[in-house]
Amino acid sequence: MKKIITVVSSCLLFLCPLVAQSSMDGVIMPDKPDTKPYVDYSKKVSGFWAGVDVSSGASIHIDNAYKTSVTTNLNAVLGYRFNSFCQLGLGAGVKVYALQQDRIDPKNDGNIISVPVFFNVRGVMMNPRSREVVPCWSLDAGYAFFDGVYVAPTIGIRVGSLERHHFLAGVGYVLQGSEVCRTDGTHAPGYTHSIQLKLGYQF
């Protein structure tokens, strides 16, 4: 009897793998899961970055030879970030003359819009590690269509505890080439000088 049980058990042990293999024929197994490591881009020191800002201000004239204009700007920048101290980018925007007194449209058709295209460089002034608020700087340099040369340095603060994702606030100066209108009614190619308040966000 023991011999019969032993023989039957051996046969079952031999047949089980064969039966299991035959039952798996034609069954599609799921793909292996993607094992690529997760990358938290908010913590990357270098890489591509983008930012937007809105600013508004008025032109200033110490000699009272020119009238004053009020403008509002909306800009967007895309570039590469080496670290917190050095970010480079290319930007474009729209500049709207809400009050146009010291600038004459070159085509004299009442256009109140200018389109700046510029190179941007920016960074912080101190190590931001373990600091949520740090002083920062920015410089735009390029050309504004329907106006002329466009240069806009800004100094302010950067707010945010992450390596990326920061709110920006600052005070800027804008040098704008344009057809300038004098208080005596004459006009000629020249430059306007403006002080602006700027708010932005970068990531």
Report pTM.
Answer: 0.76
pLDDT in tens, 159-196: 998 888 999 999 999 999 988 877 777 777 888 899 99
Q: 140, 120 in Cβ contact below 8 A?
A: yes
Looking at domain 46-202, which CATH architecture does it have? Beta Barrel (2.40)
5: amino acid identity, one letter = I
**Interior angle at CA 167, CA 165 and CA 168, nearest 5:** 130
Q: What pLDDT sits at residue 79? A: 97
Sequence-ordered list of residues with C-beta below 8 angstroms from that of 119, at least 6 positions apart, any chain: 88, 89, 90, 91, 140, 141, 142
Report which of 94, 100, 91 is spatially closest to residue 118, judged by C-alpha positions: 91
Domain ranges of the chain: 46-202
